[in-house]
Structure 1
Amino acid sequence: MTIVAIVVVLAGAIFFAGYQLMKRTEPFVLGEGCTITVASGTLDLDLEQSQVAATIAAVAARRKLPKQALEIAYITAIQESKMTNIAFGDRDSVGIFQQRPSQGWGTVKQIMDPVYATRRFFAALEKVDGYLDMSLHDAAQAVQRSADGGAYADHRRSAEILATAFRGEQPRAVHCWYPPKESPPPPQDAAAKKEFTRARGASREDWLKATWFVTHAPVYGLRQVVHDGYVWTASAGQDGWQPVKER
């Protein structure tokens, strides 16, 4: 009995150690990504999807749009492009919302700019009479006029999670990780701030802003983001937001 007990305890200890190691190294095995966690659920996105989601939220905030408008944008972007900035699509559709130059949405170059594309989407949405009284998918269809408008409804839960996280309603909801570069370039703080301001405009410090900077950290070589007593660091991105240690 004693030997069996020892074997069981030892096996349990090995399993626990292996689990902790796997949990710690999983992000690096997978390479890169972002996890979005709010009270209503969790989503895993790649870096580009997270950057697009953060940009859409920033543009919505600049226009002072309600959460419902943001959710409409998310279900549209998920359905149309999986929230990636693709340079192809049905007929001449391009970009995160699959907007068509031939239908007056702008040039290909303009539509391939997520900030521009999002501005155009929201401008069209705001022209839809009573869109806030519609279902999310009906409002999306009123803008997009898709051949399969009902498909937008499949993404309502994901849109709610994204809107809660990227609007900054729930602190520390988004963290990202990616492999470090052997010779990382100097951080481009000024360029990052300029691009954020282009999307959001002048703004106070909040979780929407902090989240945008975390998702765009690999683009601009940012090594840490600090907000409201917490810090995210690129070197330990898989650990998420951690309390700032007093020195």
Structure 2
Amino acid sequence: MPQTDHARPRRRRRPFRWAAGFLVLVAVAGYFVVQRASNDNAGVPYCTASADGKSDGKSGAKASGRFDEMSPEQAANATTIAAVGVSKGMPDRAVTIALATAMQESALRNLDHGDRDSLGLFQQRPSQGWGTPDQIMDPVYSAGIFYDRLAEIKGYSRLPLTVAAQKVQLSGFPQAYAKHEPDATVLTAAFTGAGHLTCTGPAPVRAGDPAKVRAELTRLLGKNPLYALPPAGGRSGEGAESEVTLVAKPGGGDPAARIGRVLAQWAVAGSRELGITRVSYDGKSWVAGKDGDRWRERGAAAGTNGAGDPAAAGPGQVRIFVRG
């Protein structure tokens, strides 16, 4: 039989194979969509950072886009890196460099292993003077020492990201940092500028520890003088919740507002682990397991609380509610 006669049946069957493959892809994609959309205990929690490209006139962050490939663990580490940088007074460019570096070195996971004795978010080595293993495995410490060494580099904010990161890290693959710059820029804008972080999943079912939340916020703030943690209060009055409130000190201005934004995003990222049920700041509120896990605008502030919303934050406040 001629060769062309053999070819015709194969061409007829090919569309069926394509169709079957397409249906498999649709089924797999549908599975993950359902899993992500699920808001019960069977759902797969994940976090999305969004930046709308608008300048808020304060931080100057203007990146636009979405980054939605984060687990809650990765989001918590990313917001910790950003919060440490902001509390130290580092500019957005420094936060972007730090995030891109951690994305390359650990995929924003606090690894207890690595090349030779490398550890943690930035794969820092105890043998190279980065600290003890316990210190390096502490995200607040590891981010802090990364920023300290970055700040020692003259003109780092004007250098290409790969060059600045390499001067700190001394990596064997310095160009690898470049591919993470777009996503790191979006994360920076989401945490410190005109953007936001959302995390899906049910409201925490286990009680949180407000003392632990206060302790973590104190560590994140470090020696920053712009925010204070008032003495611990009692129940919020709405169910079994305790409140942890951050208050900007008078005259803090835009730098204090920037800190408030990033700490609010940090609270959302850590909501599952810390038992946080609600976060409110700057006229917006986030409630775990409700409103599609999106930030919602609340009524205009009336005195301390927003009109019609007893959990709304007043000017200069970040209000965090922990399940009792």
Specify the TM-score bucket, using the shorter chain as the normaliser: 0.7 to 0.9
**How far apart in 2 are the matches of 1:62 and 1:210?**
13
**d(CA) in 2 for partners of 1:239, 1:178:** 8
Is there any run of 5+ residues in structure 2 with no aligned partner, and where? 1-29, 53-63, 228-247, 249-256, 300-307, 310-324
Percentage identity across aligned positions?
38
Pick aligned residue for 2:274 from 203, 211, 220: 220
AA of the residue aligned to 2:271? A
- Bigger CA radius of gyration: 2
TM-score between the two structures when normalised by the length of structure 1: 0.83
Equivalent-residue separation in structure 2 for 1:25 and 1:156 (angstroms):
26
> 1:229 Cα deviation (Å)?
2.5
Structure whose residues are more often helix by fraction: 1
Give how far 1:237 is off: 6.6
Show the counterpart of 1:32.
Answer: 45
One-letter amino acid of the structure 2 residue matched with residue 26 of structure 1: A
1: CA distance, partners of 2:177 / 2:291: 32
TM-score normalized with structure 2 length: 0.64
Instruction: Report if aligned partners of 1:53, 1:166 keep a CA contact under 8 Å in 2.
Output: no
Q: Which moved more, 1:212-221 or 1:150-159?
A: 212-221
What are the superposed Cα offsets for residues 149-174 of structure 1, whole Å, 9 maximum, x if unpaired? 0010001100110111112x115x11
Q: Is residue 2:53 matched to residue 1:42?
A: no
> How many residue pairs get matched?
223
Structure 2 vs 1, CA of residues 158 and 191 (structure 1 numbering), >3 Å: closer, same or farther?
Answer: same
Question: 1:133 Cα shift?
Answer: 2.0
Amino acid at match of 1:191: K
Alpha-carbon contact 2:82-2:99 (below 8 Å) kept = no
Q: What is the CA–CA distance in structure 2 between the aligned matches of 1:67 and 1:89, rounded to whole Å?
A: 28
1:109 aligns with 2:134: yes
Which of 165, 179, 194 aligns to 2:190? It is 165
Cα RMSD for the two superposed structures: 2.1
Other structure's SS at 2:143 match? helix
Deviations, residues 217-242 of structure 1 (Å, cap 9, x unaligned): 11211111112232211132743112
Partner SS state of residue 58, structure 1 = helix
Q: Quickly say closer, same or farther: Cα 1:174–1:237, change in 2 above 3 A.
A: farther
Please give the per-residue CA displacement for 1:65-120, whole angstroms capped at 9, x wherever unaligned. Answer: 11111111011000000011010111110100000011111111110000000011
Partners in 2 of 1:216 and 1:231 — Cα distance? 16
Gaps of 5+ in 1: 1-18
Q: Relative to structure 1, is the Cα distance of residues 130 and 213 closer, same or farther in structure 2, using a 3 angstrom cutoff?
A: same
1:177-188 residue pairs with structure 2 within 5 A? 177-180=200-203, 183-185=205-207, 187-188=208-209
Flag as ranges the 4+ runs of structure 1 deviating above 3 A: 22-25, 27-30
Is 1:233 the counterpart of 2:287? The answer is yes
Per the alignment, residue 217 of structure 2 pairs with 196
Structure with more relative contact order (C-alpha pairs < 8 Å, separation 6 or more): 1
